[in-house]
Amino acid sequence: MKKILTAIITLAVIAPAFAGVIKESQAKREVSDAIEALAQMDARQELATFLPQKEAYSARTYCNKARNFLSDSEYDKASFYAVLSTNYSKISIHKGLLAKAERDKLEMAAQGATAPRLKSAGLKGKGNSGIFTGNFDLKTLYAVKRAPKVDEIPALSADMQERVTTILGVLMQQKEVKVAISARAKNDELAEKYAKSLMDVLIEKGIENTRIEYTTKKGRDGIEVTLTGVKTQ
């Protein structure tokens, strides 16, 4: 676009020096190009609300001037304003495309905000399946390094509470999303405590228990959280 603007300024400066040297054929061709460029601009219906008013108005104004000067056989002026009109039509389309692209980008960001939010909570999406899964160890869950006793399960850590808050935001917005908690520990009793420590928080925050299920198995202490049915668009 800088090149186009530079060309316009340069043309405006040198045009007087070439007054009277533009031939009729050249003027007609350039006026025709201006009319075509203006038609192309007006044909971009998808840009109707994005075209910059100043440039679009200038394109139409200069095109009318070019046609009038051509009718009066003032070919140098007709050529000058025709070129201006053509360039302003192109600038209008260019700026319109940029404005629309920015709007589309913002809309896509709003629609797809779910995925980045869940990623920040530690959940990764599996393609376009609507499934997001994350693993959390004891340090993340409870800010402890060793497995606690069954009757001494601590409250969720501040870090985990923040992650849960993010997950809750998605669950509140998308009522069809289901939560699966797979808890691991040296025995089923301890694993169940892990699962319920998270499940209870979700229920307390308003998530129906029918949307949550949990399983237990032996393994390295921690839990895996899986959301299914997430819509990212």
> For 8, how many CA atoms within 13 A lie in the half-sphere containing its CB?
19
Contact call for residues 28 and 71 (beta carbons, < 8 A): no
Average pLDDT score over residue span 113-120:
85
Please report which confidence band the pLDDT of residue 22 belongs to, taking 50, 70 and 90 as the band edges.
confident
Q: What is the CATH architecture of 114-228?
A: 2-Layer Sandwich (3.30)
Q: Using alpha carbons, select from 140, 146, 114, 144 the residue that is nearest to residue 227.
A: 114
> For 171, how many CA atoms within 13 A lie in the half-sphere containing its CB?
24
Which pLDDT does position 111 carry in this prediction? 47
**pLDDT tens per residue, range 52-100:** 888 889 999 999 999 999 999 999 999 999 999 999 999 988 888 888 7
Which pLDDT does position 46 carry in this prediction? 81
Indicate the domain borders of the chain.
2-111, 114-228
Helix, strand, coil % (nearest 5) of the chain?
A: 65, 15, 25
The pTM score is: 0.54
| Rounded Cα distance, 60 and 20, in Å | 24
